[in-house]
Amino acid sequence: MAYQNVILEQVEPGIYRLTVNRPKALNALNSATLDEIGAAALEVGADPAARALILTGAGDKAFVAGADIVEMRDMTGVEGRAFSQRGMRAFRNLELLGVPTIAAVNGYCLGGGCELAMSCDWILASDRAVFGQPEVNLGVTPGFGGTQRLARLVGRARALELLTTGRNVKAEEAVRIGLAVRVVPADQLMDEALATARTIAAKGPVAVRLVKEAVQRGQDMDLDNACVLESEVFGLCFSTEDKAEGMGAFLEKRKAQFTGR
Ligand code: CAA
C-alpha cells in the first residue's frame, strides 16, 4: 500500500520501521494517518518473516504531539466518537501485531502520541522525550486508549494524577513510573532501538511470537487460566525445528541458527 502520512520501511531483514511523517504538524494524528498506521501494522503482520517493528516520529522535535486538533475542532459528538473508534482500531492492530514493537520516542509524545506509544510493547525514550496526556487542557478526555493503557502501565493513582492535571513527564520520570523502559541520548535512540530489534531477530522466532501472545492474552485472564495458556505455548514450541536447533546448539556449544519453523 502507498502511504502519504507514514513511512514503512524494512530496514534490515525482518526489521521494520514505521515513521509517522507529518513533521510540520509535529506528526499530529489525523484520520488518514490513523488509517495508515492501522494498515501498516496489518501489512507487517502479514509478513511471516517479520521479526520486530520500531515506531517513531519524523523530525527531531516530536514523536507525535497528539490527535490533530485542527481536524477535531469542528467535529460533532458523533464524529468525535467515530474518530476515537478509528484510533482505537488502528492502535489495536498495532498492539496485536505478532512480533515485538518498540516505540522509539524522540521528542513530544503527547495525548494521542502517548497513547500510540503505549500501544507498542515498550517505550525507549530519548533524553529529549516529553510524555503527557494534556487532553483536559482542551476540555476532552483521551480518546485513543489513554485512560485505560496508562492506568494499566503505571497504576491508577499515577495515571489519574497525570490525566487530571495534564502534567508533562520527562524521560527519566517516565522510566521511574514504568511508562518507558530506558532513556538514551537522542543521537543514539535509533541505533539502540535497532540493536534491540536485532537481538530479538536472532532468537527463536516462533518462541518470540508465542511469548508476546502469552503475555498479551494472559494479562486479562485469571492466573490459573493464564498458566494453562503458558503450558500450551510451551508445549507448542516442542513441535518446532527452532526448539531442536536451540537445544541442540546449546548442547553442541555452538550458536543456534533459527529458521522460524
Ligand atoms: N494537532 C494539530 N497541530 C498540532 C498539534 C496537534 N496535536 N500539535 C502541534 N501542532 C502544530 C501547531 O499548531 C503548529 O502548527 P503551525 O506551525 O501551523 O502553527 C506546529 O504543529 C508546531 O507546533 P507549535 O508551534 O505549537 O510548537 P511548540 O514547540 O511551540 O510547542 C507543543 C510544541 C508543546 C507540543 C505544542 O505544539 C502543543 O502543545 N501541541 C498540542 C499537544 C496536545 O494538546 N496534544 C493532545 C491533543 S488531543 C488528543 O490527542 C486527543 C486524543 O487522545 C485522541
Same domain? For 70 and 14 the reply is yes
Statement to judge: residues 210 and 196 lie in one domain: no
Closest atom of ligand 1 to CA, residue 142: 53
Q: Rounded to whole angstroms, what are the CA distances from 230 to 89, 99, 236, 246, 259?
A: 27, 17, 10, 19, 22
Residue nearest to atom 36 of ligand 1 (CA): 65
Contacts of 212 (CB under 8 A, 6+ apart): 98, 99, 100, 121
* Residue showing cell 508476546: 212
Q: Which residues are catalytic?
A: 115, 135
Whether the per-residue pLDDT at 1 is higher than 90: the answer is no
CA 60–ligand 1 middle distance (angstroms) = 15
Tell me what pLDDT residue 134 has: 98
For 211-238, write each residue's pLDDT tens digit. 999 999 999 999 999 999 999 999 999 9
Helix (H, G, I), strand (E, B) or coil at 144: coil
* CA-closest candidate to residue 65, choices 141, 144, 132, 143: 132
> Do both 219 and 121 map to the same domain?
no
220 with 157, same domain? Answer: no
- Tell me: do 116 and 153 sit in the same domain: yes
Q: Rounded to an integer, what distance in angstroms lies between the CA atom of residue 6 and that of residue 4?
A: 6
In a domain, 257, yes or no: no
Query: What mean pLDDT is predicted for residues 5-20?
Result: 98
43 with 30, same domain: the answer is yes
**Are 183 and 226 part of one and the same domain?**
no
Ligand 1 and 66: CB distance under 6 A: yes
Do 209 and 194 belong to one domain? Answer: no
Instruction: Take atom 41 of ligand 1 and give the residue whose Cα is closest.
Output: 65
Q: Which of 176, 201, 226 is the last residue of a domain?
A: 201
Q: Are residues 116 and 227 in the same domain?
A: no
The secondary element (H helix, E strand) that includes residue 29 is none
Whether the CB of 112 sits within 6 Å of ligand 1:
yes
Spatial distance between the Cα atoms of 8 and 222, rounded to a whole number of angstroms:
37
Domain range for 194 is: 6-201
3-state secondary structure 176-190: HCCCCCEEECHHHHH
Atom number, ligand 1, closest to the C-alpha of residue 69: 1
Q: Are residues 192 and 226 in the same domain?
A: no
Residue 255 CB partners (closer than 8 Å, separation 6+): 249
Q: Is residue 204 pLDDT above 90, yes or no?
A: yes
For residue 72, give the nearest of 80, 84, 64, 62 by alpha carbon.
Answer: 80
Say yes or no: CB of residue 205 within 6 Å of ligand 1. Answer: no
Which of 201, 223, 242 is the last residue in one of the domains? 201
**CB of 166 shorter than 6 A to ligand 1:** no
Q: Is residue 175 part of a domain?
A: yes
* C-beta 115 within 6 A of ligand 1: yes
How many domains does the chain fold into? 2
CATH number of the domain enclosing 240: 1.10.12.10
**Tens digit of pLDDT for each residue in 125-146?**
999 999 999 999 999 999 999 9
What's the pTM? 0.98
